[in-house]
């Protein structure tokens, strides 16, 4: 025999609101944490790009890919990630003084870019 309180509809509206609110807050929290992780990866990627460009401009005889690998190993978040690398020079010879060097790094949908002028 079921009690009258269990068959009552009286408290169920409040219970439903609390349950939906808990599920809603969980979804918002999950989405917020995902966005936070993406922002963190983007900031790390931008930092890696700037540091690599700075190091290359200070020593243009060094290899850009080796600089990227060195900074990537030091970065906990990006150390295991595979990066897309693009180096472009205007004019096409990067070793000339005054040439513009563009470095673009990508990690999935995330992109970062840095540029510098070769001082010779």
Q: Is residue 3 part of a domain?
A: no
Rounded to an integer, what distance in angstroms lies between the CA atom of residue 56 and that of residue 43? 20
Q: Is residue 63 part of a domain?
A: yes
Mean pLDDT within 8-18: 74
Ranking 6-20, 48-62, 70-84 by mean pLDDT, the lowest is 6-20
Residue 10 predicted with pLDDT over 90: no
Contact 95, 72 (CB under 8 A): no
Q: Which residues constitute the domain of residue 34?
A: 11-117
Q: How many CA atoms lie within 13 A of 107 on its CB side?
A: 20
| pLDDT tens track for 27-41 | 999 999 988 999 999
pLDDT, position 3: 58
Percent of the chain's residues with pLDDT above 70: 90
Number of structural domains (the chain) is 1
């Amino acid at each position: 025999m079921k009690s009258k309180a269990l068959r009552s509809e009286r408290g169920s509206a409040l219970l439903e609101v609390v349950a939906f609110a808990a599920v809603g807050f969980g979804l918002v929290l999950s989405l917020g944490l995902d966005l936070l992780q993406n922002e963190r990866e983007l900031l790390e990627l931008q930092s890696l790009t700037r540091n690599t460009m700075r190091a290359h401009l200070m020593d243009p005889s060094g290899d850009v890919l080796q600089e990227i690998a060195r900074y990537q190993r030091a970065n906990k978040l990006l150390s295991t990630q595979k990066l897309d690398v693009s180096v472009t020079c205007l004019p096409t010879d990067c070793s000339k003084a005054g040439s513009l060097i563009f470095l673009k790094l990508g990690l999935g949908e995330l992109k970062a870019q840095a540029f510098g002028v070769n001082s010779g």
